[in-house]
Structure formats: C-alpha cells, structure tokens
C-alpha cells in the first residue's frame, strides 16, 4: 500500500547516478526573498547558459531587433536543445531604387524617339521643322506609323514572355539622329531564360509576327497614297531603298506596276512600313539571340550553330558584293550578340507539330522580307538594263531630299530590285 501524498510536502526523489545535483529551493515571500516562501526551479539543462535577472533593460544597439515567435515544440519540451541564434542582419542604408524598373525611363525614351522620328519624317517630306515648327505635323504620319510597328513588335515579345512566366522589362525605345529614320529601334530585356524550347519559340517568333501584322497594312495603305511617275534620266542619282519579294508583290498588287518600271514617290506611311519590314528581317537573322536565333535554336536545337556560322559568312559575302552595312552587322553578330545560342533548361523536348509548322512559316516570313541590298546610294549616272534585259533604262532611284510635288507630303524615295550585286 502506497503512502498517501501530502499536498504540503514535496515528495523526495532518489538521486540518479551521473545527474547534476538539484539546486537548493529558494524561499520567497511577497516582499522579496526570504525564509517564508519556497519556489522550485527546474534543474539546469546541460550546455545551456543560465540567465540572470537584471533590474534594467540592456542598452539598445545599432542592430535591429528581430523578434521570433516561439514554436509549440520549443515551449513544451524543457529538455530540447537551445535555439540557434542567427547573426544580426546587415543594416540597409535605404530602399534600393532601380532606374531600369522605373516606368518613367521607358516613357522618356518613347517621347524622345517620337521627337527624333517626327523630325526625320518632316525632313523627308521636304519640310524644315527647325525654321518652321509647324512643319513637324508633316512628320507625324511617318513617326506614328513607325513607332506603332516597333511597339507591336516588342509587345508581342512581352506578352509571350509574360504568358510563360519569364520576367521581362517594358520596351526600351532608342532615339537616334533625326536623319532618314530617327531611331535605332527598340528592345526588351528578359531577366531569365525560358525553360523550354517551346516557350523560347513562342517568345522569339511573337515579335516579328506582331510587327509584320501592322507593317503590311501600313505598306498597302501608303502605296495607295503614293505617286507613280515615268522613269527619267535624272532619277539615277540619290538614295534608293532595296526591295524584298513581299514589297515587290505589294507594289504590283496595289499600284499595278513593277518598281523597276516607274519612279514611285512613297507616302510617309509606306516608308514607315518599309522600315517595319526591314526591322522584321534583320531580327529574323538566324544568329545568336536575335529573334531568328531563338527560332532556329527552338527548331533545330544545337544544330542551329551550323546555320548561325553559315549566315555570318553569307553576310560577309553580301557586304563584298553589295551593301557595305553587312560588314557592320557581321561584326556585331560575331563579337557582340555572339553566334551561339545558350541552352534552355529543358533542351531535350522539341517543338510540337503546331509549333513546327509555325516555325517554318516564320522562316518563310524571313525569306520574303529579306533584302540583299537594303539601301543603295548612287553617286553617278548609270544606265543599267531593265527587267527584260533588253532596253537600257535608268534605275528607279530618286533623291530623298527633293521636295515633293503633291499635297500629300510624299517622300521622294524610290526602289530598285533589278540592280545586281557587284
């Protein structure tokens, strides 16, 4: 029969071998420590430091205090190990503000590009906005159309990247000297690589297609408002825009003439559409991390490296035989953009059937917009043969600085496709 427990007396325990001795009870009363009251303290935990009560709070330090809520497991187990304390955090001097993430930077660049392209459009239309500020209105059809094409191009990338969860910046517009175009284009920054080749294809191909959707109606509408004149001997001097298969087809469809058989004074909207197609095929070059490089890597995997190197050589050959600007592009692609495309995290999964069809359609878009000689500058008169190869006729070129003769503010820029590279 066990002995009944006395509520006024604490039962005695037998000491356990190897355990630390229990401390003597401390008696306290209401006025303070003394022999009238007793308080039992649990035995100390091995390896833990005993906290001594202090009458005053410790002096504040320069480090911020971090309060941590005690978990139920820590509070319920007296024998648990002591919690590890993390080192104090490094104090921050203030919130970090990134200029690149500010919408104001994108807005300022957009306004600056609008100004430079409007001046370029006014000068191309034969007006002088430096002496007559009201002449800037003549440049708005060109600038607004061109910026709409560039904006749609970049927003195509942006929407596709957002769809696949890739952090992407807003478009950065690049203003340039108000000569001929007034801008160096636009770009966006992806703060991460798409995980799969399918996502990479969607992002890379969305931009050129979105820009082309706006550029094609602009070209057709601008050609309808352009002026067609017979060829003249003095049209052999000046700057001419090269032709692509797509632009030649639209010219014959809308105007009913071939660009080599007439002098076409382009409306500013048609000029902006031409530059839109020019930007499209430049971005679709299958090299590096250009849009065409994204499409080539998504379609061919690491086999894109052969295509990239071939095209760099092709650009050098075109520079020797035609437009000198290909030398600059070959240099930029080889040493700035880089020829090879980095691998995605999932490089084994290829494109599905729907994307394969879309990829080859994107290759077709590149082929019909490609211009072997985009800009042609003729310094002396020449009489090359026409399209039929029989009767000699001057090339369809015209000085872009000559004032237009119609109230529609036509740009006196014409085209030349029959001229063979030399």
pLDDT more than 90, % of the chain:
54
Task: Assess if residue 265 is contained within a domain.
Answer: yes
Sequence-separated (6 or more) residues with CB below 8 Å from residue 70: none
The whole-chain average pLDDT of the chain stands at: 76
When divided into structural domains, the chain yields a total of 1
405 domain-assigned? yes
Residue 367 lies in a domain: yes
Residue 8: inside a domain, yes or no?
A: no
Residues of the chain with pLDDT under 70: 1-101, 233-237, 378-422
Give the single-character DSSP code of 100: G
Mind listing the pLDDT tens digit for each residue in 194-218? 999 999 999 999 999 999 999 999 9
Asked if residue 46 is part of any domain, the answer here is: no
pLDDT value of residue 301 = 93
Residues facing residue 376 across a β-bridge:
240
Q: What is the pTM of this model?
A: 0.68
**Are the CB atoms for 397 and 414 separated by under 8 Å?**
yes
Percent helix / strand / coil, the chain, rounded to 5: 45, 10, 45
In a domain, 15, yes or no: no
Residue 338, domain member (yes or no): yes
The answer to whether position 48 is within a domain reads no
Q: Can you tell me whether residue 394 is helix, strand or coil? A: coil
**Domain hosting residue 235, numbered range:** 101-416
Q: Which pLDDT tens digit goes with each residue over 15-39?
A: 555 555 555 554 444 444 444 444 5
Exposure letters 341-376 (e unless 16+ CB within 10 A, then b) = beebeeeeeebeeebeebbeebeebbebbbbbbbeb
């Amino acid at each position: 029969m066990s002995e009944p427990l006395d509520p006024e007396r604490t039962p005695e325990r037998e000491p356990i071998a190897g355990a630390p001795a229990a401390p003597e009870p401390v008696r306290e009363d209401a006025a303070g420590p003394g022999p009238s009251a007793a308080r039992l303290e649990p035995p100390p935990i091995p390896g833990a430091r005993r906290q001594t009560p202090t009458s005053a709070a410790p002096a504040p330090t320069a480090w911020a205090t971090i309060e941590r809520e005690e978990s139920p497991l820590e509070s319920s187990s007296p024998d648990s190990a002591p919690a590890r304390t993390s080192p104090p955090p490094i104090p921050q001097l203030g919130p970090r503000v990134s200029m690149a993430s500010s919408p104001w930077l994108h807005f300022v660049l957009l306004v600056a590009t609008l100004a430079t392209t409007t001046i370029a459009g006014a000068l191309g239309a034969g007006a002088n906005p430096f002496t007559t500020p009201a002449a800037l209105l003549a440049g708005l059809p060109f600038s607004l159309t061109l910026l709409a094409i560039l904006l749609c191009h970049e927003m195509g990338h942006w929407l596709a990247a957002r769809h696949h969860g890739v952090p992407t910046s807003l478009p950065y517009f690049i203003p340039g000297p108000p000569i001929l175009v007034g801008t160096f284009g636009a770009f966006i920054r992806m703060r991460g690589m798409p995980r799969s080749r399918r996502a990479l294809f969607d992002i890379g191909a969305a931009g050129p297609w979105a820009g082309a959707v706006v550029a094609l109606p602009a070209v057709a509408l601008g050609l309808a408002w352009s002026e067609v004149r017979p060829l003249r001997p003095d049209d052999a001097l000046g700057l001419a825009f090269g032709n692509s298969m797509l632009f030649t087809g639209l010219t014959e469809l809308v105007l009913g003439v071939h660009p080599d058989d007439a002098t076409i004074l382009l409306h500013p909207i048609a000029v902006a559409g031409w530059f839109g197609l020019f930007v499209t095929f430049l971005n679709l070059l299958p090299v590096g991390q250009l849009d065409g490089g994204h499409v080539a890597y998504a379609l061919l995997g690491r086999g894109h490296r052969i295509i990239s190197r071939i095209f760099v050589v092709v650009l050098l050959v075109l520079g020797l035989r035609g437009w000198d600007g290909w030398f600059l592009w070959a240099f930029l692609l080889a040493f700035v953009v880089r020829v090879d495309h980095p691998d995605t995290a999932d490089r084994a999964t290829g494109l599905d059937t729907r994307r394969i069809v879309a990829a080859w359609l994107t290759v077709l878009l590149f082929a019909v917009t490609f211009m072997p000689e985009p800009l042609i500058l003729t310094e002396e008169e020449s009489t090359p043969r026409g399209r039929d190869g029989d009767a000699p006729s001057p090339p369809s070129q015209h000085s872009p600085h000559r004032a237009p003769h119609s109230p529609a503010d036509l740009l006196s820029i014409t085209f030349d496709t029959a001229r063979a590279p030399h």
